[in-house]
Chains A and B, each alone.
Chain A
Amino acid sequence: MKAAVITFPGSNRDGDVANALKRAGAEVVHSWHADTELPKGTDVVVLPGGFSYGDYLRTGAIAGRAHIMDATRAHAARGGYVLGICNGFQIACEAGLLPGILVRNANLKFVCKRQHLKVERDDTPYTSAYAKGQVIDVCIAHGEGNYIADAETLARLEGEGLVAFRYADAQGQVTAAANPNGSLNNIAGIYSPGFNVLGLMPHPENLIDSLVGGTDGRGLFESLVGAKRAA
């Protein structure tokens, strides 16, 4: 599995996600936002976390129009994998790879803490190492993680089972109290209709080593590396 990690001006989690991918067994190459082509043989494009372009205009808005995103959209249209984490999720939405948008947290605060997530399904390229309904403990760190979409889009996401993760408590209860940012239906991550694109606000790459507090994030990278290689 060859992963192209894209660095935008202001990305800061590219190193950590590359590390997580390598430790799961992926070959990692680094790409630059101004590149017009993906490295040959790229299986998964990774849009890392950070503050691309200083969050100017809207989070992810300018990065979403970078040259490399044309190649990324073409890759996704062929069925190729695209993983957007945190700012990468915002970029994926702004680039039209995923529906909806992430807006300012409902409580107006930047939240940086451990957070439990409920894994909605275990039959996707990103979650096969987890069990359906499993509660995982990862990190969140964002000011604009409040997922919103129009009613029609939300109904389609729910109806087609495209919600990947929901904010939950330690028992897996999806409650308003467990929702850190006001996201509709406690949505923490969503898939494209083909399940080849995943965007999520939490940082699984932070929790891959017991030395730094946990390993619940590993499953996502292990699932991906074990997934069937797409086009």
Chain B
Amino acid sequence: MKARVTVTLKNGVLDPQGKAIEGALKSLGIDGVGSVRQGKVFDIELNSADKAAAEAALKAACEKLLANTVIENYRVEIGA
């Protein structure tokens, strides 16, 4: 089973890297860019086929390591 964890900065947390990317996109003349926030994506291969167990394991992974919940939110998507 495959899963994807997306970690993003919470609203209000300064994202200087996102700002720099935003500036670079605008300077490239790419139209319509309002703002950019940079996040992280983790593609995780799971050994288990049990969806409930996978959800619990991924939540623990996010809380314990993948996200720092002082500044970040996370989202877990479990695929086939």
Listed in ascending order, the chain A residues whose CB lies under 8 Å from chain B are 57-58, 61-62, 65, 94, 99-101, 103-108, 146, 148-150, 182
Contacts and interface: CB of A to CB of B under 8 A. Distances in A.
Interface stretch (B9-17, B26-34, B43-51): B9-17
16 contacts: A57-B65, A58-B68, A62-B65, A65-B64, A65-B65, A99-B70, A100-B70, A101-B68, A101-B70, A101-B71, A103-B13, A104-B16, A106-B16, A146-B14, A148-B14, A150-B70
Contacts of A146: 14
Given A103-B71, A108-B20, A148 B13 contact: yes
Interface of B: 13-14, 16-17, 20, 64-66, 68, 70-71
A62 B71 CA distance: 17
Contacts of B64: 65
Contact of B66 (A57, A103, A105): A57
Nearest to B42: A57
B70 A106 contact: no
Nearest to A99: B70
Nearest to A62: B65
A40 to B, nearest CB: 29
A209 B17 CA distance: 37
B78 to A, nearest CB: 21
Given A103-B14, A108-B17, 11 more contacts: A61-B65, A65-B65, A94-B68, A99-B70, A101-B68, A101-B70, A103-B13, A103-B71, A105-B16, A106-B14, A106-B16
